[in-house]
Amino acid sequence: MPTAMITGASAGLGRAIATALAPTHTLFLAGRPSSRLDRVAEEFGATTWPVDLANTEDIETVVEPIVELDVLVHNAGVAYPGRVGESAVEEWSATMAVNLLGPVALTLALLPALRAARGHVVFINSGSGINASPGLASYSASKFALRAFADSLRADEPALRVTSIHPGRIDTDMQRDLIAYEGREYVPEQFLTPETVAAAVAQAVATPLDAHVHEVVIRPR
């Protein structure tokens, strides 16, 4: 069975992606050790990998045993709501560390394994990676940069498939924090479900090998 590593799989969209890929892939769940991640791993018979995207120095050593990897899904991310004038440099640094530098470091560490499998790298980006969103200054910047990294990886590694997923707002804890910042009532029905976005990820991964899905843009109806 092909292998798939998913970051940020302990809840929300990451857990939904694990659910969508579990029937067809052996799962490697990467993230900070936690009881929630352990429960997801137990449910799917998956292996956990103690990867802290904010600590790039240890990533290469952690994933060194992986010699072949079919799919890498970059899902983990953070957002600090705030307009430019409200933001702090520390928030920009923390956002870039998890949303950009961590995925870069993990991809580079796993590049030999991905090449060996002629694998597929999926980046969970955002609508904010296409059009900057008010109140999400550092998040939008990190997602624009992540899209550029995905495009560069696709251009420089033609043996790999590289897909950027750009969903609109999703019903997750991160979304609740953003709506609270905006001072609005949270209405889950206004947003995409994690399962809908996970299905798009699974469909991109299942695309026959004669095709290459570069980008997927999903918006709530």
Whether 133 shows a pLDDT value over 90: the answer reads no
Percentage helix, strand, coil for the chain under 3-state DSSP, each rounded to 5: 50, 20, 35
Q: Among 41-45, 79-83, 89-93, which is the least confidently predicted range?
A: 79-83
Report, as an integer, the average pLDDT of 177-186. Answer: 82
Q: For residues 43 and 94, is the Cβ–Cβ distance under 8 A?
A: no
Mention every residue, 6+ apart, whose C-beta is less than 8 A from residue 26. 1, 2, 3, 4, 46, 47
Q: Which residue of the set 80, 139, 181, 186 is catalytic?
A: 139
Q: Which of residues 118 and 169 earns the better pLDDT score?
A: 118
Task: List the chain domain ranges.
Answer: 3-218
Cα 50 to Cα 11: distance, rounded to the nearest angstrom: 16
Q: What is the DSSP letter of 38?
A: H
CATH superfamily of domain region 3-218:
NAD(P)-binding Rossmann-like Domain (3.40.50.720)
Q: Which residue has the higher pLDDT, 181 or 73?
A: 73
Q: Is 186 a catalytic residue?
A: no
